[in-house]
Amino acid sequence: MAQLYFYYGAMNAGKSTTLLQAAFNYRERGMRPMLWTAALDDRAGEGRIASRIGLEADAHMFGPGTDLHAAIAAQPADCILVDEAQFLSAAQADQLADVVDGLGVPVLAYGLRTDFRGQLFPGSERLLAIADKLVELKAVCGCGRKATMNLRIDSAGIPVRAGAQTEIGGNDRYVALCRRHFMEAFRAG
């Protein structure tokens, strides 16, 4: 029975690595995974999913107007793997649920839970509400605790407290922290 999974975690929790490993496992068994990533995140190149440990794969891209159900229904797949799922709209998250329920294809979505202010992303909020399975992937704060928050920093390493919810970046723009250290850094200054 197909299910909708949401794998979430802070930056550097291994979400893309886990997705790429799942794709490899499906292919190794002769199955066809269909990979998706957000069009606005082109750090690895347009239509590419890449992990910090060097794994990469081509992917379909979704933007705000993409009808995921229609695009997925148009080509055969044994599994749908979605990277950067926080950038889905609530409607697109519902479309993925329709893929599971109507087409019988499992969907594994991977993304951040919260933004640099500790607020839920719309796609993540909807996935947290409707996913059949929620799986937290763990990152580690510098203190050794589980990192659950993403602190945006500027080029000098100073915490950023205001701005657009979405600003693409990696270790140069974000630090994964436990709640305590996130709150201390966010409130300081």
Catalytic residues: 84
The burial class, CB within 10 Å (0-12 / 13-18 / 19+), for 109 is buried
Mapping DSSP to helix (H, G, I), strand (E, B) and coil, where does residue 148 land?
coil
Copy the structure tokens of residue 184.
């201390």
Closest listed residue to residue 107, CA positions, set 87, 128, 133: 133
Copy the structure tokens of residue 162.
């205001």
* Residue 111, beta-bridge partner list: 8
Q: Hey, how many other C-beta atoms are within 10 angstroms of the C-beta on 74?
A: 8
